Structure 1
Amino acid sequence: MSAEEHRFPCETCGSDLRFDPGGDRLICDHCGSVESIDHGPWDRTEAIAEQDFYAALRAIASDVEMVEARISQCPNCGARIEFDSALHAKECPYCATPVVTDTGSERQIKPRAVVPFALTEEEARQAMSNWLGSLWFAPNGLTEYARKGRKLSGVYTPCWTFDADTKTRYTGQRGIEYTTTRTVTRNGKRQTQSQTKVRWTSVSGRVSRFFDDVLVVASTALPEKFRAGIGQWDLTRLEPYLPHYLAGFRAEAYTVSLKEGYEQGRAIMDRQIHRDIKFDIGGDRQRVQSVETRVSDVTFKHILVPVWLAAYKYRGASFRFVVNGQTGQVVGERPWSIWKLAFAAIIVALIAGVVGYTAAVNQG
């Protein structure tokens, strides 16, 4: 999956074609030529079939289903991005730090599927501008700079998805609330007091759930709040991996290994299993005492999902914005305007003073 595999020369003028977000085609920005994507003869379902997790762990040691990629790692945020080999220096799309691109290659598990970009850069910029415009106390200068500033970077972010069949045995307690009342005397007056108590009963049982496409973002370049904020992709729109979808875009290499990704996926599954157990226990309150889960038929996919990135340096501070390249959802580092905050504080103080003065006059 080298950068060269993502380049497709225009048959008319020889310029590099790029994938057209929202369309199933490649376009040439130089001469306007359009070429459809050849998906080949394969069946779509078979092309993005699940892979056996434990077999893949064994295969990694022998380099089966691996591909060599030219990777550059950002010294600031740790992002590992595939760059065009013709370039020797570039800014990291995640944090705008200068990156030297000729840092060697490494072997990675091949992507199995991709969620193609659905939003153009213009549409992503508009989504970001709308988000900034909705923020109170954001610096006007940053808002204008972001709207008119540098181009957004389209990057395919790596993810793991996991399927698993789980069967769980548990023990716990079911709590049933009931109310007791008693009469007390306070200050010479008799009062009735109510108190809610819980009657606990020991229970045990079993729950089962099949997990389908539990998604784990396989990148640590962005903080957790960013990964959680944009992590909703419609995986029914997955397409079999073709380098054509990456034409004109960058691809990030995963920094979360398959094994680490599965551990994170299991944590997501365990939280859902815990909710299932509490629902199964029933009653008004639940206590879960022991959980024993058997997991089978574990499969995975390595997929790429689209994000538009903007990293701005404004008055010595860095601000990052991420736009989901499929849905347009925006997550960013919230900027604050000291002047707007100070002005708001003055207004609040004035209002409080007027209210206090009016109340004093009315009492007088």
Structure 2
Amino acid sequence: MPEPVIQKSELKKACKNCGAELKYKPGTTSIICEYCGHEDHINLDTDPIKELPLRVYLESQGSQANSEEISILHCKNCGANQHVEENYKSLHCVYCGTPLIREDAKTEQWILPGAVLPFQLTQQEAIIRFKKWVKGLWWAPNDLQKATLDPQSTKGLYLPYWTFDAQLYGQYSGQRGDYYYETQSYRDSNGRRQTRRVRKTRWIPVSGNVQGFVDDTLINASKQHTGKVPRGIALWDLKKLQPFESGFLAGFVTEKYTIPLKDGHLESQDEMREIAKTWARRDIGGDEQRVSHLNMQLEEETFKHILLPVYISAYRYKNKEYSFFVNGENGSISGKRPYSFWKIFLTILAGLFVFGLVYLFSK
């Protein structure tokens, strides 16, 4: 009987000196042992990040061509699907904190990530960003800085995304608007005749062609969970992407995509259509533009599955829990926060008082 094949992402990363867990050190190309300090280097692939031919993968046989099996833990409370390395100690859902049972893990197929943007911030740096964020909150209660934050609940998560590339060709028709001005006469409130310049728009029909390369259209690949991540932090520098290497995942949780490739492709077409309209408006010129018809064609379409970093955590204030998110690459932060009723009430009261004084003096 042949020996079972151990998939790359399931390999246990143990320290060769003491056998303890090795974890990826953010901002480096190393995985380290927190017990004895041993450090292993992640060997980066020097080849360019691979773009996969889209049409081949949309067919059933092509979809398995660059895939592997991984173990998935399904949260029964919120439904999140998370891949956790074999030796990852904290078995709690990164979204809702529900305990996960390793024996419930199921083996599933996924398209192997083509690239990963490694964490650039450590967990401690994410917590520092949180404390700085709390200090800068307007309308927050004065004692919010005493909020309880459990460092163990601050988890690093790799979010799944699709990116799509294509050569775009578009034919458009519409209208170009050019401003011109006319002088009009009118009477003011005292009955005196006055003149003023009025802006008007002259519209002329136009048509034309646009074309160009659309690079890395980013599509969220997990609809019910990553949708909770605020848009304000969902901006990463994709130039920092590295060819996929499972060492970057050591010590972190990876969420499996729940939006299939074909659905992600449909969404990317909507994004590319908006790009084509922008190109068309730029081509039309003038002061205003109207695009009434656009025929778009995409060729040489490629895609890749990528993983992007974020820290997810929660803090407690007066026995209520609030969640927040930190971008694992650039440190931007967003989240839920409490508001001070008295601060808002007194500010409104002060505004009404000033308004009342202005009104009395104007009389």
Shorter-chain TM-score bucket reads 0.7 to 0.9
Aligned to 1:14, the other structure's residue is in SS state: coil
1:10 matched to 2:15? The reply is yes
The one of 247, 255, 268 equivalent to 1:252 is 255
Structure 1 stretches of 5 or more lacking a match? Answer: none
Q: Tell me what 1:37 maps to.
A: 42
Within a 5 Å distance, the mapping from 1:300-339 to structure 2 comes to 300-312=303-315, 314-315=317-318, 317-333=320-336, 335-337=337-339
CA deviation profile, 1:261-301 (whole Å, cap 9, x unmatched):
11222222211211111111111111111000110010011
Within a 5 Å distance, the mapping from 1:187-336 to structure 2 comes to 188-222=191-225, 224=227, 226=229, 228-312=231-315, 314-315=317-318, 317-333=320-336, 335-336=337-338
1:22 matched to 2:23? The reply is no
CA deviation profile, 1:128-177 (whole Å, cap 9, x unmatched):
22122211123456543354554410111111111100010000011122
Q: How far apart are residue 97 of structure 1 and its match? A: 3.5
Instruction: Quote the RMSD (CA, aligned, Å).
Output: 2.9
Q: Tell me what 1:167 maps to.
A: 169
Distance 1:229 1:21, change over 3 A: same
Structure 2 stretches of 5 or more lacking a match? Answer: 1-5
The one of 115, 123, 126 equivalent to 1:124 is 126
Q: Tell me what 2:95 maps to.
A: 94
1:67 matched to 2:68? The reply is yes
Contact 1:173/1:288 (CA < 8 Å) preserved in 2? yes
CA deviation profile, 1:277-327 (whole Å, cap 9, x unmatched):
111111111111100011001001111111111134555644221111111
Partner Cα separation in structure 1 for residue 174 and residue 207 of structure 2: 6
Q: How far apart are residue 217 of structure 1 and its match? A: 2.2
Deviates more, 1:153-162 or 1:52-61: 52-61
Partner Cα separation in structure 2 for residue 358 and residue 56 of structure 1: 69
Partner Cα separation in structure 1 for residue 301 and residue 311 of structure 2: 32
Q: Tell me what 2:3 maps to.
A: none
Within a 5 Å distance, the mapping from 1:332-347 to structure 2 comes to 332-333=335-336, 335-337=337-339, 340-347=340-347
Partner Cα separation in structure 1 for residue 174 and residue 267 of structure 2: 25
Deviates more, 1:184-193 or 1:323-332: 184-193
Distance 1:20 1:363, change over 3 A: closer
Partner Cα separation in structure 2 for residue 16 and residue 98 of structure 1: 21
CA deviation profile, 1:186-241 (whole Å, cap 9, x unmatched):
66532325433222111100111201111112123446473532232222222221
1:179 matched to 2:181? The reply is yes
Distance 1:196 1:3, change over 3 A: same
- Count matched residues: 356
Partner Cα separation in structure 2 for residue 31 and residue 44 of structure 1: 33
Distance 1:226 1:117, change over 3 A: same
Contact 1:94/1:221 (CA < 8 Å) preserved in 2? no
Partner Cα separation in structure 2 for residue 229 and residue 241 of structure 1: 26
Contact 2:71/2:106 (CA < 8 Å) preserved in 1? yes
Deviates more, 1:7-16 or 1:95-104: 95-104
Contact 2:163/2:306 (CA < 8 Å) preserved in 1? yes
Aligned to 1:130, the other structure's residue is in SS state: helix
Letter in 1 for 2:128: Q
Q: Tell me what 1:52 maps to.
A: 53
Q: How far apart are residue 8 of structure 1 and its match? A: 1.0
Partner Cα separation in structure 1 for residue 326 and residue 16 of structure 2: 32
Aligned to 1:44, the other structure's residue is in SS state: coil
Partner Cα separation in structure 2 for residue 227 and residue 2 of structure 1: 33
Distance 1:307 1:2, change over 3 A: farther
Normalised by the size of structure 1, how large is the TM-score?
0.87
Partner Cα separation in structure 2 for residue 2 and residue 145 of structure 1: 42
Letter in 1 for 2:346: I
Contact 1:92/1:99 (CA < 8 Å) preserved in 2? yes
Deviates more, 1:166-175 or 1:349-358: 349-358
Aligned to 1:300, the other structure's residue is in SS state: strand
Partner Cα separation in structure 1 for residue 325 and residue 224 of structure 2: 12
Deviates more, 1:285-294 or 1:132-141: 132-141
Partner Cα separation in structure 1 for residue 63 and residue 85 of structure 2: 28
Contact 2:63/2:111 (CA < 8 Å) preserved in 1? no
Contact 1:161/1:214 (CA < 8 Å) preserved in 2? yes
Partner Cα separation in structure 1 for residue 113 and residue 271 of structure 2: 22
Q: Aligned residues: percent identity?
A: 35
